[in-house]
Amino acid sequence: MNLAAARQYYQREGHLRVPRKHVERIIVGGPENGDSKKTKKSGR
């Protein structure tokens, strides 16, 4: 799940310098499903 969140963040932002308290919501099953999961990512 963390890899999916990193991919989604990179696609949107163009880098992986994630702010320390950032929470990335990943789309599960596509936009028609509407479900999402929350993944907390920490930057280094």
Q: What percent of the chain has pLDDT over 90?
A: 43
7 C-beta neighbours (distance < 10 Å), count: 12
Q: What is residue 27's predicted lDDT score, i.e. its pLDDT? A: 77
pLDDT tier at 21, thresholds 50, 70, 90: very high
Report domain extents, the chain. 2-40
- Tokens 């989604």, located at residue: 8
Q: Provide the b/e sequence for 12-27 (b: ≥16 CB within 10 Å).
A: eeeeeebeeeeebebe
- pLDDT greater than 90 at residue 16: yes
To the nearest whole number, what is the mean pLDDT of the chain?
79
The DSSP secondary-structure symbol of 28 reads: S
In contact, 1 and 37? CB cutoff 8 Å:
yes
pLDDT for 4-14, tens place per residue? Answer: 999 999 999 99
